[in-house]
Amino acid sequence: MKKYEFWFVVGSQFLYGPEVLETVEARAREMAAALTKVLPYPMVYKVTAKTNKEIRDVVKEANYRDECAGIVTWCHTFSPSKMWIDGLRDLQKPWLHFATQYNKEIPNDEIDMDFMNLNQAAHGDREHGFIGARLRKPRKIVAGYWQDEKVHRRIADWMRAAVGVAVSKDMKVMRFGDNMREVAVTEGDKVEVQTKLGWQVNTWAVGDLVKEMGKVTEAEIDALVKEYEAAYDIATDNTAAIRYQAKEEIAMKKMLDREGCRAFTNTFQDLYGMEQLPGLASQHLMAQGYGYGGEGDWKVSAMTAILKAMGEGGNGASGFMEDYTYHLVEGQEYSLGAHMLEVCPSLAAGKPRIETHHLGIGMNEKDPARLVFEGKAGKGIVVSLIDMGGRLRLIVQDIEAVKPIMPMPNLPVARVMWRALPDLTTGVECWITAGGAHHTVLSYDVTAGQMRDWARMMDIEFVHIGADTTPEKLEEELLVKDLVWRLK
């Protein structure tokens, strides 16, 4: 992960005289330092801007500097907004307008006109808000006291979404083989995603990977197997299969890192020269923060890497998922999600086991090793990015994951069980209405609100299915959005 930071830009003007401006700057520095201690990324004080040029200069620098993942603006005093127009027009980084004030209370005894002139954020932030609205500039607005924990949580959430934007703009996806034959929802316009989201999606021959596997040494495999033994329980005697997966992982990682790719895809239909579909190999790469998509699904692969980066510590509990089958017993309505092999261990409730089993689908000559585990219980989301033709739609559904209600002893893969909101069948109807895919990113770390922020910053359509969604309301919403996005 790159070291990201956010820049604190305070708006003012010369009207109040140097003393007030000194106080504003001192307070802004104090606030930035205090916020840095409680937020996931540093808040760096940059400037108390009083002129068009100061604002343009800080925006130019923010656009240019890779470590700057966004700017946070605040108007301690009144800052006339015409001088913000050029800077905001040029701004290419995420923007949060922090409507706060230095003092928490109105001081009954000491308040006079000097106090009012210094502490007029209520006034200044409205002028600042107008220009954001007038310019139609995407922004997050957070109002509240700067020492309030709830406010910290909201800024932290936005910061993580903004880091998701930076990661997206840097995204390179390595495709081994094409998409699974005839599948529609995993397709998409690669030129559109590069223009809109910054993703470079390109293909590498499976033969190149096989060649790279040929160069992996026994010593490299020994070292990685030691890592597997430390992280997982070995529940198979088939050490050859584990070592083969290690060889695949090492070769894929070398290729990914050489090209600067943090996401990859493969397909069981194209494994020429390989004995096994990468299972454990892909799972352990995901555990390290790489995105993955099965059956050539590069959209879900890139999204997996982005949600991982948005999560706790820059590699949160998010993973590639697929809806498989339902339990439709009244009062126990759940989805069972899994994949052929590749479920990320960041979703696991306990220590995953390495097992080997036969895999009938695809070109596997030998039984692939894979991690088997149960998913965690807890609130989460599932996310799907689809190509509507001319635009991208991001669909997010709230879910409640549970400990799987049965052991399923013959199921040879990792499994997660959840209930979609508002309830399983309504949730499924809504998901299908919106066109959501069978592949998703399932996350325990990232919220629908953060994905909404991310979609706003990336300027793509956002659809949220949650506790209050009804199929009727959703249909109307999709109809209106379809019209709006055709005009955009």
Binding site for Mn ion (CB under 5 A): 294-295, 322
Q: Report the alpha-carbon distance of residue 210 to residue 296 in Å, rounded.
A: 18
Q: Report the alpha-carbon distance of residue 419 to residue 342 in Å, rounded.
A: 21
Kindly tell me which of 204 and 268 has the beta carbon lying closer to Mn ion. 268
Min. distance of Cβ 297 from Mn ion in angstroms?
A: 7
Kindly tell me which of 146 and 320 has the beta carbon lying closer to Mn ion. 320
Q: What residues contact 396, with CB distance under 8 A and at least 6 apart?
A: 381, 382, 383, 448, 451, 452, 462, 463, 464, 465
Exposure b/e, 62-71, CB count within 10 A at least 16 = b = beeeeebbbb
- Answer yes or no: are the C-beta atoms of 264 and 175 closer than 8 Å: yes
Kindly tell me which of 295 and 453 has the beta carbon lying closer to Mn ion. 295
Min. distance of Cβ 439 from Mn ion in angstroms?
A: 6
Min. distance of Cβ 382 from Mn ion in angstroms?
A: 14
From 267, 268, 275, select the one nearest 246 (Cα to Cα). Answer: 275
Exposure b/e, 87-123, CB count within 10 A at least 16 = b = bbeebebbbbbbbbbbeeeeeeeeeeeeeeebbbbee
Kindly tell me which of 300 and 430 has the beta carbon lying closer to Mn ion. 300
Kindly tell me which of 132 and 188 has the beta carbon lying closer to Mn ion. 188
Min. distance of Cβ 370 from Mn ion in angstroms?
A: 14
Cα torsion 261, 267, 268, 270: sign: negative
Min. distance of Cβ 180 from Mn ion in angstroms?
A: 8
Kindly tell me which of 276 and 450 has the beta carbon lying closer to Mn ion. 276
Q: At what angle do helices 448-458 and 149-169 cross, to 10 degrees?
A: 50
Q: What is the dihedral of CA 47, 49, 53, 55, to 10 degrees?
A: 70
Kindly tell me which of 322 and 367 has the beta carbon lying closer to Mn ion. 322
Q: Where are the beta strands (DSSP E) in 50-139?
A: 68-74, 95-99
Q: What is the dihedral of CA 431, 432, 435, 439, to 10 degrees?
A: 70
Cis before 42? omega within 30: no
Half-sphere exposure of 12 (CA within 13 A, CB side): 23
Min. distance of Cβ 322 from Mn ion in angstroms?
A: 5
Min. distance of Cβ 320 from Mn ion in angstroms?
A: 9
Min. distance of Cβ 347 from Mn ion in angstroms?
A: 16
Kindly tell me which of 279 and 294 has the beta carbon lying closer to Mn ion. 294
Q: Which residue is nearest to Mn ion (CB)?
A: 294
Kindly tell me which of 42 and 294 has the beta carbon lying closer to Mn ion. 294
Place of tokens 């220590």: 351
Min. distance of Cβ 295 from Mn ion in angstroms?
A: 5
Q: What is the dihedral of CA 237, 239, 244, 246, to 10 degrees?
A: 110
